[in-house]
Amino acid sequence: MSLIVNGTSVAPPDDPRVSLLDHLREGLHLTGTKKGCNQGACGACTVLVDGERILSCLALAVQYDGRHITTVEGLAQDDALHPLQAAFIEHDGFQCGYCTPGQICSAIGMAAEVERGVPSHVTADLRADAALTREEIQERMSGNLCRCGAHNGIVAAIQATFVVEAQA
């Protein structure tokens, strides 16, 4: 049994009760993924599993045998930041930065959901493709809290990355 974390095969924890979040942070020393509430309420622990966003504090590491897990440490390629990471810097999408890895992983998963045509609570027309409007982004990212109140910059960074990409 093994997990594939940022492209590398790693062993699961010995104790099957260990959460994916604790295994990432304490077992694998990938501390980019943050522990906020540890009960599914803040989004700080968001990672991608086969491209879908999940809350790693609510998941057991042993659930993910053979699955591809991407943490914030795995987003940069060839020493270049992921475009969304660069946009967070450009648009002041953070202050203390504690929520930022979760925000970024969540936004990447969220954009993929929109791409697949998954509607949100505020999508008016379920037959039309959802656009990444400010309202859609706010709704879809509402599970990721930022106690610094950097939400304006976060939305701007997401729009700059994914709306511009979609229009290109």
Percent helix, strand and coil across the chain, each rounded to 5? 40, 10, 50
**Nearest residue (CB) to ligand FES, 141 versus 150:** 150
Q: Which CB atom, from 119 or from 143, has the smaller least distance to ligand FES? A: 143
166 binds ligand FES (CB under 6 A): no
Beta strands in the chain (DSSP E): 3-5, 8-10, 46-49, 52-55, 68-70
Give the interface segment with ligand FES, choosing from 24-32, 126-134, 142-150, 160-168 (CB under 6 A). Answer: 142-150
18-57: contacts with ligand FES (CB under 6 A): 35-38, 40-45, 55, 57
The answer to the question of residue 156 lying near ligand FES (CB under 6 A) is no
Cα–Cα distance for residue pair 25/32, rounded to 1 Å: 8
Q: Which residues of the shown chain bind ligand FES in the complex (CB under 6 A)?
A: 35-38, 40-45, 55, 57, 94-100, 146-148, 150
